[in-house]
Each structure stands twice: as structure tokens, then as C-alpha cells.
Amino acid sequence: MLRKTIKNIAVLDLQNFTAEALRRIKKIDGCAIILISKNASEEWKNVYANIKIQNVAQIIETDAHKHSVLNGVVTLNDSNVTDDCIYVINGIAVLETVKKIPDLCVNGIIFKRKMSQYNISLLNGRSVELDDEVTIKAYMNVVEIDSDTVRNFDNNTCVVAGNIIDIKNDVTEQMLTDKKITFAAGNKVECNKNISGYVKANSIAGNKITEKNE
């Protein structure tokens, strides 16, 4: 029987593979995540054990029969979370569920309401809990925040961006303090020196918080 190599797949879901199908796999190489069933048979496990596995970051046992790969800033709520699915998120997960409890695998940051619950299979990053009354303004990539933007934010707003938050020079510390604005960026937050103390104390960045050159 000719056996094959599976290479360079971000998420390899083996849950629907039969033991016979697994016998056709010689090697798995260069996958970020392999999903296998918690309820796999002994025959399945024995065949799987004979597959050579290398350069795989994570092997996850799950009882979810579906998976969804999402990138950037992802908001999950009761209307878009489905049962029996594991969510693989690369970036920022904003969790606003009330009744649903999603299964998560996150490379990045989770922002969750106090009321929200989740099951975590993998977290490379951190989880941050927000009060239920915080307004979350989420932007997929880069967002520029000027004084007009701040004035139009609700009080107690958390600004979330998948890449960069660029705070313009006309934004003052008093504006941010009055509105209780916080920031979270997947990459970095940029601001001028006059407000850097406030921003550094009230921001999360995947990379860094930097002062812009005047």
C-alpha cells in the first residue's frame, strides 16, 4: 500500500479519518495543530501511533466534530457560536457570549466579558476580563484615533485593533481620562510623549507601546 505524507497544513482535523484511512498516512510534517477525537477507538489510536509526526506545534484532543479557523479580530456571541465546533483564532478574540460556551484555541489575546465563559484547548497569549458595561470598539487591522474619535466614544470604551492603534497628537491625557479609554492592539500602540504615561498604564500590546517621534 502506497503511504503518503501530509505537509504544511495549518489545522489538520483527523477526527473523521477512519483507522483504514490513517493507515495510508506515513508522516505528518509542518502542521500548526492536529485535532484528534477524545473518543477514538483503540484501533484508531494504535494506527495513529505508527504515524511519524514532526514539526507540529500542538496536538489537541477534542469532542467537537467541526472546526473554524479565524484570523484578525474576531467577535463571538450567542448568535454566531455553534455547538460542536472548536474555534481556532489567530489574533484577538472578543468574547461576548451569554449562554453559549465556545471551545477555543487562541494564538493571541482573549477579551471576555465577566458573564462570558469558554473552554480553552490552547492559549498562546493571554486572557483579559472586561466589565460587562465596557464598550468594545473592534478594528480588524490599523486604526487612527484623533480627538474627534475620542469625543465620539462612549465612556469606558476599550479600543481593540488586530494590528496597530495610532493615537494622533491632538489627543490629550485629559480626554482619555475623562472618557476612561483603554487600548489593546495585536501588534503595537503608538502615541506621543505627552500621553505615553496614560497609554502605557492602560494598554495591552502584542508587540510594544511606542512614543512617536515629534
44 contact partners, CB below 8 Å, separation of at least 6:
17, 18, 19, 22, 37
Total structural domains in the chain? 3
Boundary residue ending a domain (111, 130, 149): 130
Q: 107 is in which domain, residue-wise?
A: 66-130
* One-character DSSP codes across 34-83: EEEETT--HHHHHHHHTSEEES-SEEEEES-SEEEEEEEEEEE-TTT--T
Taking only the tens place, the pLDDT of each residue in 88-108 is 999 899 999 999 999 999 988
Exposed/middle/buried for residue 114 (C-beta within 10 Å: 0-12, 13-18, 19+): exposed
Residue 55: its pLDDT value, please? 96
Residue 104 and residue 160 share a domain: no
pTM for this model (two decimals): 0.81
Task: Indicate whether 76 and 55 sit together in one domain.
Answer: no
Mean pLDDT of 127-149: 93
| Residue 167 CB neighbours (<10 A) | 27
Q: What nine digits make up the cell of 32?
A: 500548526
- 158 & 121 share domain: no
**Which residues are CB-contacts of 149 (< 8 A; sequence separation ≥ 6)?**
none
The CA distance from 68 to 159, in Å, is: 25
The number of angstroms, rounded, from the C-alpha of 54 to the middle of its chain's C-alpha atoms is 25
Domain co-membership, 143 together with 203: yes
Give Cβ neighbours of residue 164 (< 8 Å, ≥ 6 apart).
141, 142, 143, 185, 187, 188, 189, 190
Distances (CA, A) of 40 to 10, 20, 24, 36: 22, 13, 17, 8
Nearest to 67 by CA among 101, 40, 39, 105: 105
Q: Over 80: is that where the pLDDT of 2 sits? A: no
**Segment 68-90, tens digit of pLDDT:** 999 988 999 999 999 889 999 99
The two counts, helices (H) then strands (E), for the chain are 5, 18
Do 75 and 117 share a domain, yes or no? yes
The full length of the chain comes to: 214
Could you read off the pLDDT of 170-205 as tens digits, one per residue? 999 999 999 999 999 989 999 999 999 999 999 999
Phi-psi region of 133 (alpha: psi -120 to 50; beta: other; left: phi over 0): alpha
Whether 203 and 139 map to the same domain: the answer is: yes
